[in-house]
């Protein structure tokens, strides 16, 4: 293949990359569901699914970074997940530490900023220590924002935001009529990020399950039957292709 100037293209440039002609969403959020079911289908304990799911997180972070996604928000643990058996909760709470032990070095090299969104006060001390170390060591990075929703629940987030605004009204810093959409967005845990452009939920459930209810008002929602441990780079690319088709059909002025 010859280029415009008649030079033969190198092997690398002969390749078509799926993302070449696509609009990459700035903020992608993912509900990583189906880890337990994946394990059950293989006659493995549920925690084996969680562990496999963690490996997929690494793969998808690499791909998100390669594609030029700016913010990747991953739902790792919900406020409802405490109701699971204690052994499973204990296992899940060790995953942030395991993930970071094996992967923080690469995240630092890749200029990734690790963030956490959720009520961190209820997390075990060892989980908080791991997460804080990751946040601190990536605080000055300027690349992909890897935002873990950890002990996150949207109604709790909205409740806390309303308390914050109500307290400002009470001390006379804010008038009720000054409360608008941007004041509410600004009081949420996600205040530093734009709303997600694309939400992906794996494993076939068609629900939001208390995830970013305010922020997803205009987001493209993509549901796939694939279990999270089976989710791959190509599934992320397909979701972005769907996102492009939809925004071309409905978007614009
Ligand atoms: C968890 C693996 C992915 C599938 C969903 C459930 C299990 C990565 C983290 C994590 C969180 C914070 C952090 C670094 C890594 C994680 C939990 C569960 C609780 F700073 N995966 N993963 N945390 N799973």
**Between 3.40.50.300, 3.40.309.10, 3.40.109.10, 3.40.1180.10, what CATH number should domain 24-153+195-245 receive?**
3.40.1180.10
Closest ligand 1 atom number to CA of residue 114: 20
pLDDT higher than 80, residue 109: yes
Rounded CA-CA distance 90/97 in Å is: 12
Closest ligand 1 atom number to CA of residue 50: 7
Alpha carbon of 51 to ligand 1 centroid (Å)? 9
pLDDT higher than 70, residue 118: yes
pLDDT higher than 90, residue 8: no
Q: Are 35 and 50 in contact (CB under 8 A)?
A: yes
Of 95, 134, 226, the residue with max ligand 1 atoms within 8 A of its CB, to mutate for a pocket test, comes to: 95
Alpha carbon of 101 to ligand 1 centroid (Å)? 13
Domain ranges in the chain? 24-153+195-245
Which pairing describes strands 220-223 and 145-152: parallel, antiparallel, or unpaired?
unpaired
**How many residues does this entry show for the chain?**
253
Alpha carbon of 77 to ligand 1 centroid (Å)? 7
The pLDDT value given to residue 6: 47
């Amino acid at each position: 293949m010859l280029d415009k100037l008649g030079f033969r293209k190198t092997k690398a440039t002969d390749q078509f990359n799926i993302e070449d002609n696509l609009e990459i969403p700035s903020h992608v959020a993912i509900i990583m569901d189906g880890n337990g079911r994946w394990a059950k289908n293989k006659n493995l304990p549920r925690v084996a699914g969680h562990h496999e799911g963690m490996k997929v997180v690494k793969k998808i972070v690499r791909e998100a970074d390669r594609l030029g996604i700016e913010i990747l928000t991953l739902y790792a643990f919900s406020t409802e997940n405490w109701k699971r058996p204690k052994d499973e909760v204990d296992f899940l709470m060790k995953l942030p530490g395991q993930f970071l032990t094996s992967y923080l070095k690469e995240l630092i090299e890749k200029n990734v900023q690790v963030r956490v969104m959720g009520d961190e006060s209820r997390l075990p001390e060892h989980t908080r220590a791991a997460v804080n170390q990751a946040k601190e060591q990536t605080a000055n990075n300027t690349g992909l924002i890897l935002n873990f929703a950890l002990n996150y629940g949207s109604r709790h987030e909205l409740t806390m935001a309303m308390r914050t605004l109500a307290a400002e009204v009470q001390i006379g810093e804010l008038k009720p009529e000054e409360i608008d959409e941007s004041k509410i967005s600004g009081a949420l845990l996600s205040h530093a990020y734009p709303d997600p452009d694309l939400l992906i939920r794996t494993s076939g459930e068609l629900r939001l399950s208390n995830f970013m209810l305010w922020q997803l008002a205009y987001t493209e929602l993509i549901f796939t039957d694939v279990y999270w441990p089976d989710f791959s780079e190509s599934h992320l690319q397909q979701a972005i292709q769907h996102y492009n088709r939809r925004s071309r059909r409905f978007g614009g002025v």
